Amino acid sequence: MCQDDEDRIDAAEQLAEDHPDAAAEACSAIACDQAVGDEVRLSAAELLAGGNPRALAPACLAIACDQAVGDEVRLSAAELLAGTDPRALAPACLAIACDEAVGDEVRLSAAELLADVDPGAAGQACLAVARDATVGDEVRRSAAEQLASLDPSG
């Protein structure tokens, strides 16, 4: 992680106490900045979750949809949305589940996150995993089972 990245997140944390709007703006900028390290971007989004949930969705979506970000960090960004802004969860999880470069288990986890919130999107995500011949058989089977268990009236 670059020292400049650390300085930016430290400054945002210090702003949070006295100037929450400025801190939210700083955190959003950090989370959406592709030049910043993955973990720092996620830390900035986590600060938003605690201080300004309105700004969280765009920050988490920027991380979850960025193919240059590590798989687990992308999934963590989507998980932040699950607890604070479920409406924004579908595009984040679909970006992960449909990305063939993401690891099999992470893709399945993204699909599973959607099951209770958006069964239609969960179905799309499960299909993407189940139909991908490069995915391991067990994960493909799990995706198919998840698809079969979805409540379409959700």
User: Which residues lie closer than 8 Å to 26 by C-beta, 6 or more apart?
Assistant: 8, 11, 12, 15, 44
Per-residue confidence (pLDDT) for residue 64, from 0 to 100: 97
Q: For the whole model, what pTM was predicted?
A: 0.90
Burial string for 81-107 (b: 16+ CB within 10 Å, else e) reads bbebbeebbbbbbbbbbbbeebbbbbb
Single out the residue of 44, 33, 104 nearest to residue 69, CA to CA: 33
User: What pLDDT does residue 3 have?
Assistant: 60
**pLDDT attached to residue 1:** 44
> How confident is the model at residue 35, as a pLDDT?
93
Consecutive H or E run containing 14 = helix 3-18
From the first residue on, what is the mean pLDDT of each consecutive set of 10 residues in the chain (154 residues)? Answer: 72 79 89 94 90 85 97 97 87 97 98 92 96 97 95 61
Question: Residue 115, SS3?
Answer: coil
Domain positions in the chain are 1-84, 87-154
Interatomic CA distance for residues 50 and 84, integer angstroms: 10
